[in-house]
Structure 1
Amino acid sequence: MKTDIRNLDLNLLKALDALLDERSVTRAAERLALTQPAVSGMLTRLRECFDDPLFTRVQRGVVPTMRALELAQPVKAILAEVSELLQPKAFDAATAEMTIKIAATDYALRAVIVPFMAALRVQAPGIRVAVLPVNNEQLSAQFERGDIDIALITPDSAPPDLHARSLYDEEYVCLMREDHPLSAQKDLTLDSFCAQDHALVSYLGGNFKGVTDEALASIGRSRRVTLSVCSFLVLPEILRVSDLISVVPRRLTHDLPGLKVLPPPLAIQGFNKIVVWHERTHRDAGHRWLRELLFSTAV
């Protein structure tokens, strides 16, 4: 009789293992938390599968046949491998080797990725990081394909089918070179602020209005924006060599020699930065560790 693997399930192998260890249907049933008739029924199925009696009844239990003894070690190995398969793989950051793909704007590069990388290189030097541009329209598809693992975005651009967690709330400040004519003022006046030439960052490029202009319009004022750039990273260099001023997120002003930070003379709505990720990596031990590190370094 040829054994058909379709008739053999994991529970039958567990019963066979228990019978081989216990040499008793009663004790095997207790170990498996089953009734004795249930284990007897499983033994009948095992005999059919392997075309062998497997066990012979004796006065104090059962004794295995030669075929059953041949199966003992392979069955234990199979059950051990299945058990290992069902357990989450242990993650050791110090020895881990993997690649994580993060979608981020250049703002998030400096505000979030820089402190994250400083900690990552110390704690998990074998992990590689690929930083990609944020494409809001393609986020869901990119996550599904595995093109990205994490995205650093704002709540209004987060697809509803992703996991999300808030990193922090950001506020805006005014930035200028340290010897700018306005730098001597402790508090900028609205008139002096509006009289200056401004630079702003437009992610899509070419826009000369932003959140600051919306705030000014709400109180019947306006400013003159004479430079629009598509990256925060170049802005400090421009401010150092010009009389332009700019309203920027506070976290971009750390460690910028030659520049001065002042509070803006009106309330400008800030924004919330969040992390989003896909169900595909939600329970993975390595990705969970990386997300926790990201949360802890984004302060």
Structure 2
Amino acid sequence: MNNLRRLDLNLLVTLDVLLSEHNVTRAAERLNLAQPSVSVHLAKLRDIFGDPLLLPGPRGMRPTARADELREPLRRALEALERAVSPASPFDPAEARHTWRVAASDYSESTILLPALSGLRSAAPGTRLAVLETVPSRIARQAEQGEIDLAFHTTEGAPSSLHRRALFTERYVLVGRAGHPRLKKRPTLSQLCELEHVIVSPDGGGFYGVTDKALARAGLTRRVVLSVPHFLFVMSVLASTDLVAMLPSRLVRNTSALQVVEPPVDVPGFEMAMFWHERSHRDPAHQWLREYIADSV
């Protein structure tokens, strides 16, 4: 360890070239250094290793036994260091063998990952994708520790410490089963409040949401009779009952089993974004994944 502290990279590079050339003059030419500078380096190396390393011979210099021992380990170490500090090679998705881990709610799975999945499998067939449940309070820590590569979340309430890219702005629509007798036309505010509603409560058990806040500003309340934690169950409930729900529009587009109408109340929408940590910000593979997902939604 004491010898390692006395070394610098320039000395090791000089030693590698000297062990290849066995000649100070040729080594100086390869290193683009003056011959005296190479001689100074050799003197320092001899002192550090406690060995002459190279001895005068009839045709240049000949290595000592210690120098012969150093040759291959030194070459491998310098090659590894060269690979480590070289610019990252371009990412080739067709040859990639990455396993990506993303945090997503069931809404994000349906509106962001599902549209991207088929093309992702074609473009990067050797990769794998692990989808973890989003826990907003854990996103920043998971990203920092490398447990996830990306997270999908609304921009509101998301960790400010992470990089972010907005994907789209979502709005709410009123949804019920196809042929719902109360949704043949856009209901009035009072008719909306008379309907029985289901609400998605990610935290579990809540019966009050953004729609209720909007109605409260008009002095109105609605009948929320079912609270569930996931959107997938809501879709099944709506298709098989006369319950209705205010849902993000992307979730229900092109769903023949459901009827979608414009609500009679203005409910603020939200912006969806993807988030990642600085540790992977410049990684070519990660950059490719982010661009691919952004182009797919």
TM interval, shorter chain, is 0.7 to 0.9
Q: CA–CA distance in 2 between the matches of 1:171 and 1:14?
A: 61
Structure 1 window deviating more from structure 2 (77-86 vs 109-118): it is 77-86
**Counterparts in 2 of 1:154 and 1:30: CA distance versus 1, 3 Å:** farther
Q: CA–CA distance in 2 between the matches of 1:207 and 1:188?
A: 25
Q: CA deviation at 1:154?
A: 1.8
- Residue 128 of structure 1 corresponds to 128
- Residue 39 of structure 1 corresponds to 38
Tell me the percent identity: 42
Aligned AA for 1:278? Answer: H
Aligned AA for 2:132? Answer: L
- Is the aligned partner of 1:14 residue 2:28? no
After TM superposition, the structure 1 = structure 2 runs for residues 15-164 of structure 1, keeping only pairs within 5 Å, are 15-19=14-18, 32=31, 37-49=36-48, 51-52=51-52, 54=54, 63-67=60-64, 70=68, 75-87=74-86, 88=88, 91-164=91-164
Q: CA deviation at 1:249?
A: 0.5
Unaligned runs of 5+ in 1: none
- Is the aligned partner of 1:184 residue 2:181? no
Structure 1 window deviating more from structure 2 (218-227 vs 89-98): it is 89-98
Q: CA deviation at 1:73?
A: 6.2
Secondary structure of the structure 2 residue equivalent to 1:184: coil
Q: CA–CA distance in 1 between the matches of 2:117 and 2:257?
A: 25
Alignment coverage as a number of residue pairs: 292
**Counterparts in 2 of 1:207 and 1:9: CA distance versus 1, 3 Å:** same
Q: Please, what is the CA RMSD of the aligned residues?
A: 3.0
Secondary structure of the structure 2 residue equivalent to 1:65: strand
CA contact (8 A) 1:25 1:36 kept: yes
CA contact (8 A) 2:162 2:275 kept: yes
Aligned AA for 1:251? Answer: R
**Counterparts in 2 of 1:96 and 1:177: CA distance versus 1, 3 Å:** same
Q: CA–CA distance in 2 between the matches of 1:166 and 1:179?
A: 36
Q: CA deviation at 1:261?
A: 1.6
Q: CA–CA distance in 2 between the matches of 1:53 and 1:113?
A: 60
Q: CA deviation at 1:13?
A: 2.2
Q: CA–CA distance in 2 between the matches of 1:266 and 1:47?
A: 84
CA contact (8 A) 1:201 1:229 kept: yes
- Residue 167 of structure 1 corresponds to 167
Q: CA deviation at 1:76?
A: 4.2
Secondary structure of the structure 1 residue equivalent to 2:221: coil
Aligned AA for 1:63? Answer: G
Aligned AA for 1:295? Answer: A
Structure 1 window deviating more from structure 2 (251-260 vs 16-25): it is 16-25
Q: CA–CA distance in 1 between the matches of 2:31 and 2:189?
A: 78
Secondary structure of the structure 2 residue equivalent to 1:203: coil
Q: CA–CA distance in 2 between the matches of 1:155 and 1:275?
A: 9
- Residue 199 of structure 2 corresponds to 200
Structure 1 window deviating more from structure 2 (70-79 vs 91-100): it is 70-79
TM-score (ref. length: structure 2): 0.83
- Is the aligned partner of 1:276 residue 2:275? yes
Q: CA deviation at 1:220?
A: 2.5
Aligned AA for 1:273? Answer: M
- Residue 250 of structure 1 corresponds to 249
Aligned AA for 2:60? Answer: V
**Counterparts in 2 of 1:29 and 1:164: CA distance versus 1, 3 Å:** farther
Q: CA deviation at 1:232?
A: 0.6
CA contact (8 A) 2:154 2:271 kept: yes
Q: CA deviation at 1:107?
A: 0.9
**Counterparts in 2 of 1:118 and 1:67: CA distance versus 1, 3 Å:** same
**Counterparts in 2 of 1:81 and 1:183: CA distance versus 1, 3 Å:** same
CA contact (8 A) 2:23 2:61 kept: no
